[in-house]
């Protein structure tokens, strides 16, 4: 086929597209089309169902864990806890009680 | 519309008989569009099933009857686009794996089996396929919908959700690229013809 001799390329291109349309008629579906489609639908439904269940389980576990963490942080703990409810200055003063006394109390002059 | 909107509404509620009716009404047309979009007869049914699968799981989002057909076209276009993108490399390697001699032998063997009309059809399909390979998958689909499927700009606007001017520009550019490939194919054909004549 010598396209250059066909004249206007655009017209020739349109003709080729038309010929292509005629060369490719709508095909008939095979007998297996619908059963295979429903098999794929059911397969997808199943995977969506399992994914949904897994997501729900994950959300529930996350919620339970969050609540447990919140409870742990908000319930007052005993003094033996490694965490102190005192401020930094209070803790420092308590740790050096003896030193503080020396500084605050007036010196005793030995007579 | 090839089916009443009532049928689609019933399918939306999970009525499988209604969904079957929708599929049966649009199956042939969808298969034809996909066949022309991907040019691979062996994979047409697979892509069509993917279209109806996506339709099944997104049907509940449909609100009005008039958007159903553009919507189905969009699903078809998206599935064809996914297929073409996924298979481009595979098809290229498949073709490059064949030596020239193997191609000639295959052609000669096929030539003996198929009649003239079938051969002509195959030739035109291969020519268009080769030309459309010169443009991107998106342009290939757009050109096929416009030039082969015969959709109007208005219909394409509904499918692509872009304005007419943008579509015209894209179509023009895609057409220019195809024309370039078309010219090159013509030159190659004439060179081959001259060589054969000289031989």
How is B107-165 classified by DSSP, letter by letter? HHHHHHHS-HHHHHHHHHHHHHHHHHTTS-HHHHHHHIIIIIS---HHHHHHHH-S-HH
Count of the separate structural domains present in chain A: 1
Q: What is the mean pLDDT of chain B?
A: 82
Q: Report CB contact under 8 Å: A26, B35.
A: yes
B43, B80 contact by CB (below 8 A): no
The pair phi, psi for residue B7, each rounded to 5°, is: -65, -40
Q: Tell me what pLDDT residue B82 has.
A: 93
In a domain, A110, yes or no: no
pLDDT tens digits, residue range A39-92?
999 999 998 888 888 999 999 999 999 999 999 888 876 555 556 667 788 878
Measure CA B79 to chain center.
10
For chain B, residues classed under CATH 1.10.1740.10 are: 1-88
Identify the architecture of domain B133-199 in CATH: Orthogonal Bundle (1.10)
* Chain A stretch 49-88, residues whose beta carbon is closer than 8 A to a beta carbon of chain B: none
Residues of the domain holding A52: 3-104
Reported as a pLDDT band with limits 50, 70 and 90, residue B71 is very high
Choose the mutation target among B55, B121, B133 for the interface with A, i.e. most A CBs under 10 Å.
Answer: B121
Reported as a pLDDT band with limits 50, 70 and 90, residue A107 is low
CA distance B183 to B186: 5
For chain B, residues classed under CATH 1.10.10.10 are: 133-199
- The nearest CA of chain A is from the CA of B183 a distance in Å of 7
- Between 2.60.120.260, 2.40.50.140, 1.20.120.1200, 1.10.1740.10, what CATH number should domain B1-88 receive? 1.10.1740.10
pLDDT at residue B137 greater than cutoff 70: yes
Reported as a pLDDT band with limits 50, 70 and 90, residue B87 is confident
In a domain, A16, yes or no: yes
pLDDT at residue B189 greater than cutoff 80: no
């Amino acid at each position: 086929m010598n396209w250059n001799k066909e004249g206007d390329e655009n017209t020739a291109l349109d003709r080729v597209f038309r010929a292509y349309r005629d060369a490719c008629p709508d095909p008939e579906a095979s007998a297996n089309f619908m059963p295979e489609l429903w098999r794929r639908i059911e397969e997808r439904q199943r995977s969506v169902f399992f994914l949904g269940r897994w997501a729900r389980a994950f959300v529930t576990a996350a919620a339970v864990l969050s609540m447990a963490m919140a409870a742990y942080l908000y319930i007052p703990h005993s003094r033996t806890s490694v965490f102190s409810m005192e401020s930094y200055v209070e803790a420092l003063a308590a740790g050096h009680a003896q030193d503080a006394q020396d500084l605050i109390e007036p010196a005793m002059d030995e007579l | 519309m090839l089916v009443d909107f009532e049928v689609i509404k019933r399918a939306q509620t999970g009525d499988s008989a209604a969904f079957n009716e929708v599929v049966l009404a649009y199956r042939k047309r969808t298969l034809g569009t996909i066949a022309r979009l991907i040019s691979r007869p062996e994979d047409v049914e697979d892509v069509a099933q993917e279209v109806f699968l996506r339709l099944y799981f997104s049907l509940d989002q449909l609100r009005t009857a008039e958007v159903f057909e553009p919507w189905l076209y969009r699903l078809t276009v998206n599935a064809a686009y996914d297929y073409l993108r996924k298979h481009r490399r595979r098809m290229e390697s498949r073709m490059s794996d064949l030596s020239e001699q193997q191609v000639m032998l295959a052609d000669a063997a096929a030539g003996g089996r198929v009649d003239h009309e079938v051969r002509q059809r195959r030739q035109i399909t291969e020519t268009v396929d080769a030309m459309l390979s010169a443009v991107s998958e998106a342009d290939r689909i757009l050109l096929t919908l416009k030039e082969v499927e015969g959709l109007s700009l208005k219909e394409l606007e509904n499918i692509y959700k872009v304005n007419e001017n943008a579509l015209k520009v894209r179509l023009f550019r895609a057409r220019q690229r195809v024309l370039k490939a078309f010219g090159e194919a013509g030159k190659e054909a004439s060179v081959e013809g001259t060589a054969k004549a000289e031989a």
